[in-house]
Amino acid sequence: MRTPLVAGNWKMNGTQASVAELMQGITQGAGNIDGADVLVCPSFVFLSQVRTVTDGTSVALGAQDLYAEEGGAFTGEISGSMLADAGCEYVIVGHSERRALTGDSDSLVAAKFSAAQKVGLTPILCVGESLEERKSDTTLAVIGRQFSTVADAVGIEAFRNAVVAYEPVWAIGTGETATPDQAQEVHSALRGMAAKRSAKIAADLRLLYGGSVKAANAADLFSMADIDGGLIGGASLDTNEFLSICEAATG
């Protein structure tokens, strides 16, 4: 059985004051969420602050990215071991904003995935097609390339301790959500790609949907057979919205 996961990706948002308020609400509400895992991924500078609140609660802590090297002269970068030391259990890799804005290639994403696992972090690998790619009917080819580059590099066994998030680029932050059927089609294809390598690992692999998930559409998306929760951007900054989405994942 796959336990659903709802992960808040706060992106480059927040102040110490807003984070304190948000976390107070989330940790209180998450105590009543039974049957879904809850994760928050703040900006690096808030990790320690958030950890003091999540420690001893059911809310897990994650980061939004890491550098692929273990340490050394890499000014401005943050390693997986620093994230593990800061209390993170998860880290997002290959988010489309990083692929587009900071040039994270498929092979760099694979290196980050591997670096995360080396220090015991669970990577959340993001894949997703652009609007042009969807229009030109290359969605599954793009997803296939993004997934296979990582699976070829790390081996399917590595997906025992990983999560994959399907996030169509055209649905991120746009208010436009993939329909449950559109999302399910890609999720089912993704699970099929993993199953070609290992049926057992594919059956246990958590596949999240991301892209304008809100309280109003979460239950319909999460009711689909291969959608095991969500990666939530904008709506994760609102305590009530986020908690409603977590509740929807409990089925």
Q: Which residues bind ligand PGA (CB under 6 A)?
A: 9, 167, 172-173, 210-213, 231-235
Count of CB atoms situated within 10 Å of the CB of 2: 12
Q: Which of 9/54 has CB closer to ligand PGA?
A: 9
For the CB of residue 73, give the shortest distance to ligand PGA in the complex, in Å. 31
Q: Which single residue is written with the structure tokens 């055209």?
A: 170
For the CB of residue 162, give the shortest distance to ligand PGA in the complex, in Å. 17
Decide if 247 is catalytic: no
Choose, from 97, 129, 133, 167, the residue flagged as catalytic: 167
Report whether 110 contacts 85 (CB < 8 A).
no
Choose, from 95, 187, 241, 247, the residue flagged as catalytic: 95
Residue nearest to ligand PGA (CB): 233
Task: Count Cβ neighbours within 10 Å for each residue of 159-192 and write b for 16 or more, e otherwise.
Answer: beebbbbbbbbbbbeeeebbebeebbbbbebbbe
For the CB of residue 133, give the shortest distance to ligand PGA in the complex, in Å. 17
3-class SS of residue 150: helix
Count of CB atoms situated within 10 Å of the CB of 17: 8
Which amino acid belongs to residue 122? Answer: T
For the CB of residue 220, give the shortest distance to ligand PGA in the complex, in Å. 15
Q: Which of 156/166 has CB closer to ligand PGA?
A: 166
- Residues serving a catalytic function are 95, 167
